[in-house]
């Protein structure tokens, strides 16, 4: 075949067989799939053409950073194991202190510490009262204040967002896990104290501080569950403040310390009687209201006010945390 008779190759570089017609090219604006200017649309490599929101094939934002992954990541942290170790060991340390300490009870107006050895329930109530004002505050602030700030300090936060994990989902997953570990911390201490106190001092009826009245243990046990639930809710303000600081700074120590500092300042202002009824709006004012639930005639009025204040404060602060994180320039 002479060069003049050889068919010209098409744009794909293929030479049609002899006698086969060359397909007509569609280069004009009327070509199928072209836009009004005659340009053929191009698809970005790795993107699904015409897919929803231009996501890559197989990418589902709702499947990124599963809760089980975050639970395991936080469980393997040394601070998690150390904190739960302290919470589990504290009741036994208190049992040893009461066993080897000087015996004796106060006369007249009995305090909760005077009745700690009266039975397992009394001991659990005492352990909760001495730990709720500081140790549990530190535990909740640690779990909620370290969750995002530690990622920023390790320079891994931007890689999580580049996975890509949507910002709201990342923050929600971390908040759920942090609150779950905080709830476990607040729950495990009184339950371990109940076990340790029962083994050391027996399963006896509870003795009410102040009056010395005795209430059957079977009647107090459901109330004790309410007490633990209220202790959880009263720590929500600490958790939300620590979480807000965690998305604001890349220093975990600063986030934890800021939340603990808030509790200290609130406790100081609570002692200022000149503030009058304004003290009732402090986040720590109603923290000890759970003692009214263990009375012979329980009064839940203070607990209702405490729940309302804690939930309101925490909802506003967590909303601010999400708003702050959406606008944050994550460079670390």
Provide the pLDDT for residue 234: 93
Residue 191 φ/ψ, nearest 5 degrees? -70, -40
The separation between the first and the last C-alpha atoms of the chain, rounded to the nearest angstrom, is 68
Is residue 240 a contact partner of residue 318, using CB atoms and an 8 Å limit?
yes
Residue 324 binned pLDDT confidence (cut-offs 50, 70, 90): confident
How many H helices and E strands in the chain? 11, 2
pLDDT in tens, 15-60: 444 444 444 444 454 444 444 444 444 444 434 444 444 455 555 5
How many other C-beta atoms are found inside a 10 Å radius of the C-beta of residue 98? 18
- Would the pLDDT of 194 be above 80? yes
The percent of residues in the chain predicted with pLDDT above 70, rounded, is 72
The percent of residues in the chain predicted with pLDDT above 90, rounded, is 39
The alpha carbon of 143 is separated from its chain's Cα centroid by a whole number of angstroms, namely 7
- Would the pLDDT of 309 be above 90? yes
Q: How far apart, in whole angstroms, are the C-alpha atoms of residue 242 and residue 321?
A: 10
How many other C-beta atoms are found inside a 10 Å radius of the C-beta of residue 207? 18
What lies within 8 Å, CB to CB, of 219 at 6+ separation is none
Q: HSE (CB half, 13 Å, CA atoms) of 67?
A: 9
Provide the pLDDT for residue 206: 84
Is residue 60 a contact partner of residue 169, using CB atoms and an 8 Å limit?
no
Residue 137 φ/ψ, nearest 5 degrees? -65, -45
Q: How far apart, in whole angstroms, are the C-alpha atoms of residue 5 and residue 325?
A: 70
- Considering the entire predicted model, what is its pTM? 0.76
pLDDT in tens, 126-149: 999 999 889 999 999 999 998 888
Residue 70 binned pLDDT confidence (cut-offs 50, 70, 90): confident
pLDDT in tens, 147-181: 888 777 776 666 666 657 677 888 888 899 999 99
Provide the pLDDT for residue 19: 47
Q: How far apart, in whole angstroms, are the C-alpha atoms of residue 40 and residue 34?
A: 5
- Stretch 185-190: mean pLDDT: 95
């Amino acid at each position: 075949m002479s060069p003049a008779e050889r068919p010209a190759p098409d744009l794909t570089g293929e030479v049609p067989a002899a006698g086969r017609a060359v397909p007509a090219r569609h280069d004009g604006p009327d070509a199928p799939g072209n836009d009004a200017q005659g340009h053929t649309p191009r698809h970005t490599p790795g993107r699904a053409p015409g897919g929803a929101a231009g996501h890559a094939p197989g990418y589902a934002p709702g499947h990124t950073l599963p809760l089980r992954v975050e639970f395991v990541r936080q469980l393997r942290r040394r601070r998690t194991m150390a904190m739960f170790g302290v919470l589990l060991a504290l009741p036994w340390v208190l049992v040893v202190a009461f066993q080897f300490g000087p015996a004796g009870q106060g006369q007249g107006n009995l305090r909760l510490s005077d009745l700690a050895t009266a039975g397992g329930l009394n001991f659990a109530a005492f352990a909760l009262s001495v730990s709720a004002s500081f140790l549990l505050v530190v535990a909740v602030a640690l779990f909620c204040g370290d969750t995002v700030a530690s990622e920023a300090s390790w320079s891994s936060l931007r890689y999580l967002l580049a996975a890509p994990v949507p910002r709201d989902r990342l923050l929600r997953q971390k908040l759920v896990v942090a609150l779950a570990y905080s709830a476990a911390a607040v729950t495990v201490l009184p339950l371990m104290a109940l076990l340790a106190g029962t083994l050391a001092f027996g399963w006896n009826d509870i003795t009410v501080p102040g009056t010395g009245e005795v209430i059957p243990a079977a009647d107090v046990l459901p109330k004790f569950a309410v007490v633990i639930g209220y202790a959880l809710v009263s720590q929500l303000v600490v958790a939300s403040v620590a979480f807000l600081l965690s998305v604001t700074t890349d220093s975990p120590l600063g986030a934890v310390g800021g939340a603990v500092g808030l509790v200290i300042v609130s406790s100081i202002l609570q002692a200022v009687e000149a503030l009058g009824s304004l003290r009732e709006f402090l986040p720590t004012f109603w923290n000890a209201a759970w003692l009214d639930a263990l009375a012979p005639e329980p009064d839940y009025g203070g607990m209702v006010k405490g729940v309302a204040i804690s939930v309101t404060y925490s909802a506003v602060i967590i909303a601010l945390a999400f708003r702050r994180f959406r606008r944050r320039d994550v460079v670390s």
